């Protein structure tokens, strides 16, 4: 078996995302990845971070056209040569040469992405002489990868990254079998190859395996994630204690008051609201120790990220969950001219995004939370 990935595994460029990137690489190492073809997102935290973390995690990085400006040499191995039984497989990586991809790394002139087509035309036929099969981890999106496969008959398998919305079982791309597995770890692509006497592909089977509830999580990887979550929670608490003082300086401005204030005049509404799903939003996070993750809190608390909103479970226990002010806005801006009600109507899509709430429709959802 070969386990490979065609890149873009990290999230954004923030410090928590950097800590998460470490967890992702450690997890890939634990799962025994044979090669990770670089995408531009892997460079989000700089080349040194990537090289050090991948080395520690024992994740082999491949990319044949990301070179050092100074030396002109690839900054990671262009390819790996692997052996499975009597079959030799070369796995190489290529990324798109769109320059803004690398501008986030260590200064615009320290890395250069060479033309992937030129590199491929040179390298792939040469690899075919060393190996029975050549696998390309192509971080170039569907159209370019497909074009490249059509130009180079020596290519056997094409695994395409950088087109997050496309899932595709294996199909012919030129001489090669091409596959794409979408994004966010929703699917694993499975490709079984049967080789003939000449060690070329005779038949194949492929499918996309959804990583849903039927696939159990690995205890080891779960452990990494849980450690990360607990550490983030500790950091959030430390940060919240500092923010608390800063919040005092916003006393004169519009601010969150908490739902107990609303209760004083809207007792009936309050009783209804605290029975609803929104009032469990924070508990939902605590179940997986995700209640310290700044990527979850904006939608599962009230006013996270704003000076008088949620800061942490212990510093602002009265700003947990999706409360009245998550929808209507800060209590001090309470008017009675219809605008406070209207703010509620406009709020849903901030949290009920396509990604997080694909079935959302204002009418049906509002019916469930009518108050």
Q: Is 357 in the site for ligand HEC (CB under 6 A)?
A: yes
Which string of x and - marks every residue 233-272 that binds ligand HEC (by CB under 6 A)?
------------------------x-x-xx-xxx--xx--
Q: Which residue is nearest to ligand HEC (CB)?
A: 277
- Tally of CB atoms within 10 A around 93: 34
90: β partners: 81, 134
Query: Least distance from C-beta 40 to ligand HEC, angstroms?
Result: 23
Q: Is 300 in the site for ligand HEC (CB under 6 A)?
A: yes
Query: Least distance from C-beta 296 to ligand HEC, angstroms?
Result: 3
Q: How far apart are CA 224 and CA 94, in angstroms?
A: 29
Q: Is 298 in the site for ligand HEC (CB under 6 A)?
A: yes
What does DSSP say about strands 133-139 and 87-95: parallel, antiparallel, or unpaired? parallel
Among 206, 289, 294, 347, binds ligand HEC (CB under 6 A): 347
CA dihedral 366, 367, 369, 371 (to 10 degrees): 100
Q: Are 320 and 291 in contact (CB under 8 A)?
A: no
SS3 content of the chain, % helix, strand, coil (to 5): 40, 20, 40
Query: Least distance from C-beta 189 to ligand HEC, angstroms?
Result: 24
Residue 87, classed as helix, strand or coil, is strand
Q: Are 133 and 191 in contact (CB under 8 A)?
A: no
Q: Which of the stretches 38-46, 74-82, 170-178, 361-369 binds ligand HEC when contact is defined by CB under 6 A?
A: 361-369
CA dihedral 268, 274, 277, 279 (to 10 degrees): 140
Q: Which of the stretches 63-71, 84-92, 195-203, 332-340 binds ligand HEC when contact is defined by CB under 6 A?
A: 332-340
In the complex with ligand HEC, the residue whose CB is nearer, 312 or 326, is 326
For binding to ligand HEC (CB under 6 A), which residues are involved? 257, 259, 261-262, 264-266, 269-270, 273, 276-278, 280-281, 284-285, 288, 290, 293, 295-296, 298-300, 322-328, 331, 334, 336-341, 344-345, 347-348, 350-353, 356-357, 359-360, 365-366, 368-371
């Amino acid at each position: 078996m070969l386990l490979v990935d065609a890149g873009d595994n990290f999230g954004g460029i923030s410090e928590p995302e950097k800590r998460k990137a470490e967890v992702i690489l450690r997890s890939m190492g634990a799962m025994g990845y044979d090669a990770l073809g670089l995408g531009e997102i892997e460079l989000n935290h700089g080349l040194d971070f990537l090289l050090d973390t991948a080395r520690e995690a024992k994740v082999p990085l491949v990319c044949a056209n990301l070179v050092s400006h100074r030396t002109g040499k690839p900054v990671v191995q262009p390819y790996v040569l692997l052996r499975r039984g009597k079959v030799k497989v070369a796995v190489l990586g290529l990324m798109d040469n769109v320059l803004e991809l690398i501008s986030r790394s260590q200064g615009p002139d320290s890395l250069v992405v060479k033309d992937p087509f030129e590199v491929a035309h040179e390298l792939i036929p040469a690899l075919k002489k060393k190996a029975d099969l050549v696998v390309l981890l192509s971080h170039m999106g569907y159209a370019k990868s497909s074009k490249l496969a059509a130009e180079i008959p020596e290519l056997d398998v094409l695994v395409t990254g950088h087109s997050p919305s496309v899932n595709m079982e294996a199909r012919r791309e030129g001489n090669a079998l091409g596959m794409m597995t979408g994004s966010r770890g929703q699917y694993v692509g499975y490709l079984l190859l049967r080789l003939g006497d000449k060690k070329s592909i005779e038949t194949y089977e492929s499918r996309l395996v959804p990583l849903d509830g039927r696939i159990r999580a690995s205890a080891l990887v779960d452990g990494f994630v849980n450690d990360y979550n607990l550490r983030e929670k500790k950091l959030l608490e430390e940060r919240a204690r500092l923010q608390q003082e800063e919040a005092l300086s916003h006393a004169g401005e519009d601010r969150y008051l908490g739902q107990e204030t609303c209760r004083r005049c809207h007792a009936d509404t309050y009783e209804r609201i605290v029975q609803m799903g929104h009032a469990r939003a924070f508990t939902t996070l605590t179940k997986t120790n995700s209640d310290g993750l700044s990527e979850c809190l904006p939608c599962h608390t009230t006013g996270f990220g704003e000076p008088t909103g949620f800061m942490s479970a212990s510093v602002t226990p009265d700003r947990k969950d999706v409360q009245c002010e998550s929808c209507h806005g800060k209590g001090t801006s309470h008017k009675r001219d219809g605008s406070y009600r209207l703010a509620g109507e406009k709020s849903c899509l901030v949290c009920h995004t396509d990604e997080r709430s694909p079935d959302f429709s204002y009418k049906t959802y509002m019916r469930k939370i009518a108050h």
